[in-house]
Every structure is written in C-alpha cells, then in structure tokens.
Amino acid sequence: MSTAATAAEDLNAIVQSAAERFARAATPAELENAKAQFLGKTGRVTELMKGMGSLSVEEKKTRGAAINQAKQAIEAALSARRQALADAELERQLQAEALDVTLPGRQRGQGGLHPISLAWQRIEQIFGGMGFDVGDGPEVENDWYNFTALNNPPNHPARSMQDTFYVDMNDEDGHPYCLRTHTSPMQIRYAVAHAKRHAAALARGEASEIRVIVPGRTYRVDNDATHSPMFHQVEGLWLGENVSFKDLKVTYLNFCKAFFETDDLILRFRPSYFPFTEPSAEIDIQFSSGPLAGKWLEVSGSGQVHPQVVRNMGLDPERFVGFAFGSGIDRLAMLRYGVNDLRLFFDGDIRFLSQFR
C-alpha cells in the first residue's frame, strides 16, 4: 500500500471515529468534549495539520486538501449531532410543558341571590298577591317613631326589651336618633304618609284601609347563634273598618303555606305583650311532616293595633281597627332552608352561599 493510500485510510478512520464519538455524546457538553478531541488545539486533525511541515510543496497540496475534506466531514457530523441533540431537547420540553387543550376553560363564577334576599323576595311576592302594598323606610330612625309613637314612652320598662345603637344626634324636635330595633316604626310612617288618601275617602263617605308589609334591616345589641346585631324583619299592617284576628290568622296561615310550600302546617296564637298591640300574641307554627315536624316554632309577634297607636297615626281608632305583625325574615329563611346558625347568613362564605343559587 502506498503512503498516500495509508494516509487516506488514516483520515477515513479518524472521520469514522469522530462520527461514532459524536453519536455517543448524549448531551451538548459531551458533544463539545468530543469535538475538542478532533478539532481542538491538540485534537487529532489539528495534529495532522501540524505534521505537514516536513512535506514537499506538492505533497502539502494534496495532503492539505485531504485533511481539509476530513475536517469538513467531521464538522458536518458535529453539526448534524448538535441539531439532533437540540431537536431531542425541544421535543422533551414540548412533552413536559404540553397543554391539555381539551380542559374546560376558566369561567367567571355564576352569581346568585343571597338566601335572605330570596326569602325577602318570596315574602313580597306572597303578600303582594294578597293585596298588600310594599313599603320601605329609614334604618336610622328617631326614638319617637321607634318607641314613643308605638306606645312605648321614655322610661317604659318595655324599652329594655330592645337595646339598640344610638346616634349622637337629635332630630329637629329633639328626638334622639337610633338604629331602628324593628320595622314597626313604619306602621306610623306609612299611615301618616297616606293620611290624605284616608281623609279624602272618609270625606266621600267611603271606607279606607291600610294593607302594607315593610321588609327591612333592623338592629339590636344582640349576638349569638340566633341573634345578630343586624337582622331582617318584615312588618305587616292591616287596618280597616272590620279587620279582625280572624283575618290575621287566615292571612298569616296562607302566607306560611305559600312560603314553606306546604299545607301540612298549623298555626297557634300564644298570649304575649307588646306596647303597641292589645291583645298581643306570638304566632307559632307547626309542621306535621318533614325535619321540623311536631315542634312549635315561633315565627312572629302580632296583635290588634292599640288605639293609641292608631291615634298617633293621625287616624280615628273607631274607624281603623286591625292587626299588625312583625316577623324575622332571617328566622323564616333558617326554617325554610334548614340553616341552624344565623351567623352563616352574614359570614359571606361563598361555599355556604353558593348552595342557594
């Protein structure tokens, strides 16, 4: 074999061995190490170049060209392997960071009405269907409407049944402002606001009546599982020529049947005391089936409106006779939805509230 042929075989072997080393390199760092062994300062190809010094000009030409060719072949193998490693890395990343495009998208949570609002709306609807107007009045009340006009004068012991928050200010008549302890002051406000209508009807010799409910927020110094400093009541007032306890019973029973969506329900009056009614009664209801069956449940205060209260409305107690009631909306909602702690309504916990959507 000629020297030239041997030299060519050497070069082929080097190219071959470089290709194998590159193929074995599993990472870019290993590949760069392998490259140095062939193309680096002391690499095998570089050594061959250095060894050409003793050759003749003619030999240098052919040998140089052959070495260059081998070098190019090694560089081509190197960049092919680089590309292959880069592709593999990209593929690995794509796999690792893959998005599942079939997952459902994120949506805005669906809102809903608060259970107290739901109960409130039901109450308005049901009484609305029985011919009751729906009134609305101030939560910051003065002590005339909240107590005195309701036959509950200053220093009367019944005031202590309803401790409230006072505002450090009096109205123009010197009555202190307070947060209303019940919706009952709206009995007076509503009647006074409609005084002209009644006077006109009576002047025409016609009967006039008041039939209204007033749902709203009320406040007391109270805080436990069944009392909260802020709570909701609905006031009812029906005054006319001949409105009696019988009407109260029928009206309230029909309301409860509609509110609780059942006919399996009885109602009783239990004697009680309120300064603004005489006689006064608590209304209890009892279900004959369901989780609350057999228990008397107190749902409302009520009574025949006291003649003095009717006078404070600017009306003649001989012509305006009837009943009033005041029920806890929160209490009604607790019974309807089976909630045993009032505070759950006001914690604002979305896990609780979303059950009522």
Nearer to ligand DAH by Cβ, of 70 and 237: the residue is: 237
Segment 82-90 long-range contacts (CB within 8 Å, at least 24 positions apart): 82/28, 82/31, 85/25, 85/26, 85/27, 85/28, 85/31, 86/28
Minimum CB separation from ligand DAH for residue 114, in Å? Answer: 22
What tokens appear for 93 in the block?
Answer: 């990343």
Angle between the N-to-C axes of helices 28-39 and 3-24, in degrees from 0 to 180, rounded to the nearest 10:
170
Minimum CB separation from ligand DAH for residue 126, in Å? Answer: 17
Minimum CB separation from ligand DAH for residue 274, in Å? Answer: 4
Nearer to ligand DAH by Cβ, of 38 and 145: the residue is: 145
**Of the candidates 21, 90, 75, the residue with the CA atom closest to the CA atom of residue 45:** 75
Q: Phi, psi (5° rounding) for residue 303?
A: 165, 175
Minimum CB separation from ligand DAH for residue 212, in Å? Answer: 11
Minimum CB separation from ligand DAH for residue 235, in Å? Answer: 6
**Of the candidates 137, 121, 293, 122, the residue with the CA atom closest to the CA atom of residue 214:** 137
Q: Report the distance separating Cα 115 and Cα 349, nearest Å.
A: 12
Nearer to ligand DAH by Cβ, of 85 and 158: the residue is: 158
Nearer to ligand DAH by Cβ, of 21 and 148: the residue is: 148
Q: By the criterion CB under 6 A, which residues form the site for ligand DAH?
A: 182, 184, 235, 274, 277, 301-303, 324-326
Nearer to ligand DAH by Cβ, of 127 and 325: the residue is: 325
Minimum CB separation from ligand DAH for residue 224, in Å? Answer: 16
Nearer to ligand DAH by Cβ, of 43 and 215: the residue is: 215
List strands edge to edge, sheet with 140-142. 140-142, 176-179, 166-170
Strand blocks (E) in the chain: 133-134, 140-142, 166-170, 176-179, 210-219, 230-240, 265-272, 277-287, 297-305, 321-328
**Of the candidates 90, 89, 73, 77, the residue with the CA atom closest to the CA atom of residue 22:** 77
Nearer to ligand DAH by Cβ, of 43 and 236: the residue is: 236
Minimum CB separation from ligand DAH for residue 325, in Å? Answer: 5
